[in-house]
């Protein structure tokens, strides 16, 4: 049911933890399953130099947040904003259909952390980041 990459990132997640004095912190949740993902980023000169996450959730949520942190580390903010949940699922070699929504948490938590980064600098993040979606019934709108 799960690919080797999913099992690898679930059993050995990368970049777990918190960043002290993070430049941006994003937290998103799925109201239906109750899973929560928290993403911390460090930004230097527009580049995401460090990223850590904490996920209280299912295995797919842990695997997607783990691989998503690897995919944005060292990238510019515009590059990180382009990371879609689809790209995350592809990088994991696929997820079962009923687990696709878990990957949306990874995309949204990164966007929320970047939005927080802009807010901390007094910049309205919405025109840059867009809306942070809420997952209410297992599907994010």
Chain contacts with ligand FES (rule: CB under 6 A): 30, 33, 35, 57-58, 60-61, 102, 105
Q: How far is the CB of 112 from ligand FES (least distance, A)?
A: 15
Q: Read out DSSP for 106-122? A: HHHHHHHHHHHHHHHTT
Question: Is 33 tagged catalytic?
Answer: yes
Question: Token pair 């929504």 is at which residue?
Answer: 101
CB closer to ligand FES out of 82 and 139: 139
Q: How far is the CB of 135 from ligand FES (least distance, A)?
A: 8
Q: How far is the CB of 125 from ligand FES (least distance, A)?
A: 24
- Max CA pair span of the chain: 45
The number of CA neighbours under 13 Å toward the Cβ of 58 is 21
Rounded Cα gap, residues 78 and 30, in angstroms: 25
Q: Read out DSSP for 29-54? A: EBTTT--EEEEEEEEETTEEEEEEEE
CB closer to ligand FES out of 28 and 77: 28
CB closer to ligand FES out of 30 and 69: 30
Question: Is 58 tagged catalytic?
Answer: no
Residue positions annotated with a catalytic role = 33, 102
């Amino acid at each position: 049911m799960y690919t080797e990459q999913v099992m690898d990132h679930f059993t050995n997640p990368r970049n777990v933890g918190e960043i002290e004095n993070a430049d941006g912190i994003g937290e998103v949740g799925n109201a239906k399953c109750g899973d929560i993902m928290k993403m911390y980023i460090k930004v230097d000169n527009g580049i995401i130099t460090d990223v850590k996450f904490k996920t209280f959730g299912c295995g797919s949520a842990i695997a997607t947040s783990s691989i998503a942190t690897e995919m944005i580390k060292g990238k510019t903010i515009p590059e990180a904003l382009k990371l879609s949940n689809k790209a995350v699922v592809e990088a994991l070699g696929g997820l079962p259909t009923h687990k696709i929504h878990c990957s949306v948490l990874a995309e949204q938590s990164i966007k929320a952390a970047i939005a927080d980064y802009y807010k901390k600098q007094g910049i309205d993040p919405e025109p840059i980041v867009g809306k942070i979606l809420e997952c209410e019934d297992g599907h994010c709108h």
